[in-house]
Chains A and B, each alone.
Chain A
Amino acid sequence: MPTCRTVLVPIIGRSVAARVGVRRCNNSREDGTQHLGNLDLVTAADASDAVRLHIVTGKGGTGKTTVAAALALALASGGKRVLLCEVEGRQGVASLFDVAPLPYDARRVAVGPDSGEVFALAVDAESALLEYLHMFYRLGRAGKALDRFGVTDFATTIAPGVRDVLLIGKVYESVRRRQHGTAAYDAVVLDAPPTGRIGRFLNVNSEVAGVAKFGPIGSQATSIMEMLTSPRTRAHVVTTLEEMPVQETLDATDELRAVGLRMGSVIVNSARTPELDDADLAAALTSSLDAEKVEQALAESGLGVDQPAVNALLEEATRHAERVELEREQRKRLDDADTPVVTLPYVADGIDLGALYELADQLCASGRF
């Protein structure tokens, strides 16, 4: 077996060779480090203060994918090119934008306000691995043959942490991808795994440490970690105003900060505006709204209603008031934490493309993105 080469391959992707040159070095690690240094210079020359990578997480069921899609549309306003990546194989983006299931290649799914463009990409570990092998080892067809030996299965599902490095590696490459001398995308939005798995997913360094510390995957993990913890990356957590999602949001922000990421916003999704004023809400909570007055008003409105109908309306008011009180408690917990909060309204008739644009508008208006 030939001796193991130290191969520094900081980026996964097809346009890499043209961009920075693939450094293959058979020498010492010091040389490799020097190459990495050169790469950093290239990056520094392009650096701007703008956030390039937005990572969106949240408890399952809070509307994480919806918010990620709305954020991509929002960022695309002003003629920007934005890439929306999903990594969980759920094809949630395709169904939101009502397009065919996304392939491994980026494809345009929507135009943003002011002729911006949103592209979407479903990253899967198997394709990322084959692309990686093809790029760096020219293992095109031979790479596929590895499947028969269970190597791709091993590398993408069993070797600990490698899967996540491959998935984020593709996102990382998309952020750094260049086209016609400028960044291919002005921003990349990652629809990331839910809060329960986000810390482990993003902490690629410690995930591969111990198993692949010195291999190319190890170097890749180090480069990815540098980008994730740089000022050009922000993490956002989506929540609804319920106890468990809020608890997971607070836990996740702590966890993300511990990994070294910078927090962007906590995005409250599906927030409802109270229909009653505070005095009526308080009365509804104790079931002491003025039933006679309501009955009179109903009669006056021309709805010939009886006592049970009045009671039903009052009962619904109590449910509403309980819900509002719960939401206010949860909002206070978020406000007391140290991440800025952005609020998106409840969309009554389900999320469609039109609703996404409305949410994108709200995100723009918040001034946080």
Chain B
Amino acid sequence: MPRRTPSSGRPKAPPSRGTQPRVGPLSSRLGDVPALNVDELLRDSSVRIMVCCGSGGVGKTTTSAALALRAAEQGRSVVVLTIDPARRLAQSMGLSELDNTPRPVPGIDASADGSLDAMMLDMKRTFDEVVETHAPPDKAAQILRNPFYQALSSSFAGTQEYMAMEKLGQLHAEASRRGRWDLVVVDTPPARSALDFLDAPERLSSFLDGRLIRILLAPAKGPARFLSAGMSLVTNTVTKVLGGQLLKDVQTFVAAFDTLFGGFRSRAEETYRILKDPQTAFLVVASPESDALREAAFFVERLEEEDMPVAGMVLNRVTTSAASGISQQAALAAAERLGEREPLTSALLRLHAERLSRVAREQTLQRRFAAAHPDVATATVPALGTDVHDLESLRNVSALMAA
């Protein structure tokens, strides 16, 4: 079941885009893959937030960095937020240190008057800053010392996703208020399941706002007789499973955190609102493999269900073949005829045949995806011989993406 923001309890408006009745072939042009015009998207000044999502290992971080670089070199003021702990973005952008503060990326071509800042999310520091900013100093100190808070801020499975959204909200606010940036590009955490980053804020805020918290707070807040049966069941269970000390820590945390709840909830709602706004463009990143495309389909469907604006898909590592006019069958047959007499040429023909077979398989997968999701415009990036780790190769990737 999709989770919704607390504000979205109203009946859902008819989907504005991308949903046709799922009956019969979805596209009259079965097999056509609509192309995504990356440069047009990057130049569109009404787009102020770009979110790259997709399953692990498909090149999300590289895609985010490449898009940010290209937008900056075309004249936009860009900040790119990455969440990946492997610091790959840092390598490709020539930064030795990527912390919670956006830093200028050296070496970009600023001739079009653009700029590029990059940062990596430090989830604990982001959470601490939220507490320090929004709680009175004595309460803040109390919260930061609480063992439950310390564990929550450094290892809760959803904290990373939550803080990514919190940081996106901050960057967007700074961009709007001070005009420091006109485009925020966000890489998303490697999701445990599709779109955890959409669910996590809602999950945390529904917890902070929910019945459990009220029950836990009840002893501190007055008559518990209306709650007593439910309360003892709940507190007994939490005690049994987690131990009494945790319950005490949670209770003190919640009591200290009480004043911050409203702020958390309203910021989560605000982030949801921004994500649904046409100023946001979601890009689903995938590679031409059945698993990655299946995940991509989940992402697209989920985003459309939430009325989030899907701009298209970036398909990385696509196999290409130099047009040689030799078919797979012809190449294999000729390799067979030449055999050992001409080992080099036979090998070249076999390589060519193998490449064509991969090209065909990937095209089939891509066509199937397009048949089920005919509205998802796609940009493809050919597989590269070498990995990306400098600005030049990143520029090359972005050029291929826009080609």
Contact = CB atoms under 8 A, between A and B. Distances in A.
Contact of A298 (B211, B323, B345, B361): B345
A282 interface: no
A89 B324 contact: no
Given A163-B157, A301-B345, A244 B203 contact: no
A194 interface: yes
B234 A211 contact: no
A211 B156 CA distance: 12
Counting chain A residues whose Cβ lies within 8 A of the other chain, the interface size class is 35 or more
Nearest to B344: A280
B246 A215 contact: yes
Nearest to A203: B155
B86 A158 contact: no
Contact of A315 (B243, B322, B343): B322
Interface in B140-191: 147-148, 150-152, 154-158, 190
Contacts, number: 244
A230 interface: no
A203 to B, nearest CB: 10
Contacts of A326: 385-387
Given A151-B212, A210-B150, A322-B386, A59 B242 contact: no
Contacts of B13: none
Interface in B237-266: 237-246, 249
Given A151-B212, A294-B344, A302-B337, A89 B243 contact: no
| Main SS at interface, chain B | helix
B303 interface: no
Interface string A145-164: 11011110111011111111
Nearest to B290: A350
Contacts of B235: 1
A217 interface: yes
A160 B155 contact: yes
Interface stretch (B15-23, B128-136, B272-280, B350-358): B350-358
Counting chain B residues whose Cβ lies within 8 A of the other chain, the interface size class is 35 or more
Given A153-B203, A300-B342, A313 B324 contact: yes
B324 A62 contact: no
B400 interface: no
Contact of B337 (A129, A294, A301, A322): A301
Interface string B99-128: 000000000000000000000000000000
Contacts of B210: 149-150
Contact of B361 (A153, A308, A350): A350
Given A244-B86, A289-B344, A216 B241 contact: yes
B324 A312 contact: yes
Given A157-B158, A301-B337, A217 B351 contact: no
Interface string A204-228: 0001001111111110000000000
Interface stretch (B31-39, B42-50, B54-62, B70-78): B54-62
Given A316-B321, A349-B357, A302 B334 contact: yes
A16 interface: no
A4 B389 CA distance: 55
B325 interface: yes
Given A88-B192, A146-B234, A316-B351, A309 B326 contact: yes
Contacts of A217: 241-243
Given A155-B238, A305-B326, A280 B212 contact: no
Contacts of A61: 55-58, 287, 289, 292
Interface of A: 1-2, 4-5, 7, 59-62, 88-90, 92, 95, 129, 132-133, 136-137, 139, 142-143, 145-146, 148-151, 153-155, 157-164, 193-194, 196-197, 200, 207, 210-218, 242-245, 247-248, 251, 275-277, 280, 289-290, 293-294, 297-298, 300-303, 305-306, 308-309, 311-317, 319-320, 322-323, 326, 348-350
Which 10 interchain pairs have the tightest Cβ spacing? A215-B243, A60-B56, A61-B57, A60-B57, A312-B322, A312-B324, A160-B151, A297-B345, A322-B385, A301-B334
Given A153-B206, A280-B344, A303-B326, 15 more contacts: A60-B57, A89-B193, A132-B241, A133-B237, A137-B240, A154-B212, A158-B203, A159-B246, A193-B192, A194-B190, A207-B151, A212-B243, A215-B242, A297-B338, A297-B345
